[in-house]
A = this chain, B = another copy of it.
Amino acid sequence: MKQNGQLHPIKLVAAKTGLSPHLIRVWERRYGAVSPERTDTHRRMYSELDIERLKLLGMLTESGHSIGNIATLDIDALRALMVDRPVPAAMPRGEQLHFDRREIGKHYVDRAVTAIADLKHAALENALQEGAVALGQQGVLIHVVAPLAEEVGVLWQNGTIGVAHEHFASAIIRTFLGNMSRPFAPNETSPHILTATPTGQLHELGAMLITAASVALGWQATYLGASISPVEIASALKQKPARVVGMSIVYPPDDPNVAKELRRLKQLLPEQVRLMVGGRAAPSYRDVIEDIGGTMTGPLEQFMACLQEAREG
């Protein structure tokens, strides 16, 4: 560690924290937010820790906390609050909509990732729930859950988090998606879709995402799960006459078995049933998919667009 941490003058601190020197002094005077050292000529000199503190305070006030209430909390309490902070509402409202929804989504993804790393059940759920409030049902799927799923996959593969974290996250995300996929009004008229993924069970999240997305668009979705054979799907189709079969392929980017299964599936499907394949790895199978008359969709957004279109067609 740092035995004799560098001390920094206020101007530098202001630059690093994005706060004005004025403000920093006022926070000190009024609320005792920090207590910097002084030179023998009364100049403030801030430690790294002070800077960290001020940065946190800046972000937290930005997102709605009032400075008077948090100024004296210790640094761990501040960090704890960061986990639950909502998206800064400070922007002029008009712009907020213009602002990329992806930006807002990122905020919640960050929160979710932190929660996962800390194994914080409630915090993860809150992040998702508040994301749903901020972005709407469809928005949270596209801009929070989908990127989060990928992020978790990445972090897992590069070892930043363990399997336990990954499963912990999956369980909670699945519950969240499951709640979303609850059939709303049992509306007889709305079209059906069957969802599944041909690949291993690890990648169920993709299929559940598709399911939730379908429900959000007003379809009646039946989720068949992972590692489903074409025969199973065909037989399920007899019980649930669906207009579309949606599949998600997330991982193996080039598996000849998957290609084979897709062809097989097409043979077993009735004529009028449309096949839509999405998920991260879908592009790798573009040729096969087009060959058998299916629709390849990339990111979730595109899948939803296709689904929307299929509804009229």
Quick check: is A7 within 8 A (CB to CB) of the other chain?
A: yes
Which residues of B sit under 8 angstroms from A118, Cβ to Cβ? 239
Complex: chain B residue closest to A5, CB-CB: B77
Copies of this chain, how many? 2
Which residues of B sit under 8 angstroms from A305, Cβ to Cβ? none
Contact (Cβ within 8 A) A64 B223: no
Contact (Cβ within 8 A) B130 A16: yes
Contact (Cβ within 8 A) B178 A222: no
Contact (Cβ within 8 A) B64 A1: no
User: What count of chain A residues pass the 8 Å CB interface test?
Assistant: 79
Quick check: is A38 within 8 A (CB to CB) of the other chain?
A: no
Partner of A163, one of B82, B183, B229: B229
Which residues of B sit under 8 angstroms from A171, Cβ to Cβ? 174, 178, 204, 208, 223, 225
Distance between A266 CB and nearest chain B CB, rounded to angstroms:
18
Which residues of B sit under 8 angstroms from A14, Cβ to Cβ? 64
Distance between A81 CB and nearest chain B CB, rounded to angstroms:
7
Distance between A132 CB and nearest chain B CB, rounded to angstroms:
8
Q: A183-B122, A225-B168 are in contact. Are A4 and B163 (CB under 8 A)?
A: no
Partner of A201, one of B201, B208, B222: B201
Complex: chain B residue closest to A65, CB-CB: B12
Contact (Cβ within 8 A) B6 A166: no
Complex: chain B residue closest to A3, CB-CB: B80
* Interchain CA distance A168-B32 in the complex, whole Å: 37
* Interchain CA distance A97-B269 in the complex, whole Å: 49
Partner of A167, one of B134, B172, B178, B223: B223
Quick check: is A125 within 8 A (CB to CB) of the other chain?
A: yes
Contact (Cβ within 8 A) B122 A1: yes
- Extra A-B contacts (15), CB below 8 Å, given A125-B182, A168-B223, A171-B174: A2-B122, A4-B77, A7-B69, A9-B65, A11-B66, A15-B63, A18-B134, A83-B179, A119-B239, A121-B181, A164-B233, A164-B235, A166-B225, A168-B225, A171-B204
29 residue pairs of the A-B complex, CB under 8 angstroms, read A1-B120, A6-B77, A6-B81, A7-B69, A11-B64, A15-B64, A15-B89, A17-B133, A55-B133, A85-B182, A118-B239, A119-B222, A119-B236, A119-B239, A119-B240, A121-B222, A122-B183, A163-B229, A163-B232, A164-B232, A166-B225, A167-B225, A167-B228, A168-B225, A171-B178, A171-B223, A175-B178, A175-B179, A179-B179
